[in-house]
Chain A
Amino acid sequence: MHKSNNVLKTAAIALLLSGCATQSPTLSSGNVEYGDSKAVETLTNEFGSTDLQTIAESMANSLLQSPALFAKSRPLVTVAEVKNRTSEYIDTKSITDSIRTKIVKSGMVRFAVDTSAMQTQVEELARQNQSGLYKKSKSKKMGNMEGADFRIEGTITSIVKRAGDVKDVYYKFSLQLVDNESGTMEWADEKEIRKTSNKSMF
């Protein structure tokens, strides 16, 4: 009788314990965890994710408020180069991609293929029209591409200063919208970022 009581008690405790311990659907070594991709990152004062996100957001917001861009309904825009004139490696294509994504998602602007995607566009048209594999009535015709009304181009520059343990980095991202036909600049804006780090403990 005493033995069966003990067995029951152990079973009850086991049941209770298994009931409390919730298992997450993860397989982890314990050293890696997912964080917030939108968090403010201040690990170092080099160009980081927060800089990229704030530049893209600020530029897309400003561009969507530009009256020149919306003189025509859903204008066609292309992205030219953003020159990196800083002392560090920055993927400027990634910044312009983010700006373009935000503007496209507004549904108010259309984008034409830029120079980097032109090769793929030409190859696709050639494949449909010249390979002999596609029905004539179903293939996309050559000679129907639309020229962009505007192009977006810009520069990113930096000024780095050091004084003792203090390092100050100033970034300036300039973007402009140029009318492709007239060559006139229709909109321009800048985003400035200052980051200061201090190595000293006190």
Chain B
Amino acid sequence: MNAVKSVSLVLALLALTACATHQPPQPGSINAKVEQLSEMSYLQVTDLRAVKRNHLLTVQAEINNTDSDNQQLYYRFKWLDASGFAVGGEEAWKPVLVYAYQKQTLTAVAPSPQVTDFRMVVQSPDNTGNLP
């Protein structure tokens, strides 16, 4: 009986640790490309697409505000070459106002043809509410 108890305890512990482990984002998913400086509750990056135009990587992101209040978003892109090195130095942070329930489209162009990959860094100051 005691053995059964300890086995179930071990299983429960295993289940708990599995839940607590932070799963790395799936390659190719939006989360693999988006770096949130703090977990955003109301603003979500719902679509992210990249295409080479005129030899330059062009990125379009769709930001969805799920809240009934306007939300301020700050964002910038990190541009990476094929070896994963940063290209073109740091970008300036850009402010964007996203209206209530609005889907805002943002576009960006890589600074050089060497860019093959990117990360979108986002931060929203008044965004500590619970998920709807």
List A residues at the B interface (Cβ < 8 Å): 36, 38-40, 50, 53-54, 57, 60-62, 64-65, 67, 70, 102, 105-108
Q: Are A57 and B92 in contact (CB under 8 A)?
A: yes
Q: Is the CB of B56 within 8 A of A38?
A: no
Q: How many A-B residue pairs have CB under 8 A?
A: 47
| B interface residues with partner A (beta carbon < 8 Å) | 53-56, 58, 74, 76, 88, 90-95, 108-109, 111-113
- Which residue from B56, B74, B94 sits with its C-beta under 8 Å from A106? B56
Q: Which residues of B contact A53 (CB under 8 A)?
A: 92
B26 to chain A, nearest CB (A): 29
CB-defined A-B contacts under 8 Å, sample of 21: A38-B90, A38-B92, A39-B93, A40-B74, A40-B95, A50-B92, A50-B94, A50-B95, A53-B92, A57-B91, A61-B108, A61-B109, A62-B109, A64-B54, A65-B53, A65-B58, A65-B109, A102-B111, A107-B113, A108-B55, A108-B113
Give the shortest distance, in Å, between B77 (CB) and chain A (any CB). 10
- Shortest CB distance B52–A (Å): 12
B91 to chain A, nearest CB (A): 7
* Least CB separation from B108: chain A residue: A61
Instruction: Let me know if A107 and B112 touch, CB within 8 A.
Output: yes
List the B side residues contacting A108 at CB < 8 Å: 55, 113
What residue in chain B is nearest A107 (Cβ atoms)? B112
- A105 CB contacts on chain B under 8 angstroms: 88, 111-112
Contact residues in A for B56 (Cβ distance below 8 Å): 64-65, 106
Smallest Cβ-Cβ distance to A98: which chain B residue: B92
Known: A40-B94, A50-B95, A65-B53. 16 other contacts (CB 8 A): A38-B76, A38-B93, A50-B94, A54-B92, A60-B111, A61-B108, A64-B54, A64-B56, A65-B54, A65-B58, A67-B54, A106-B111, A106-B112, A107-B112, A107-B113, A108-B113
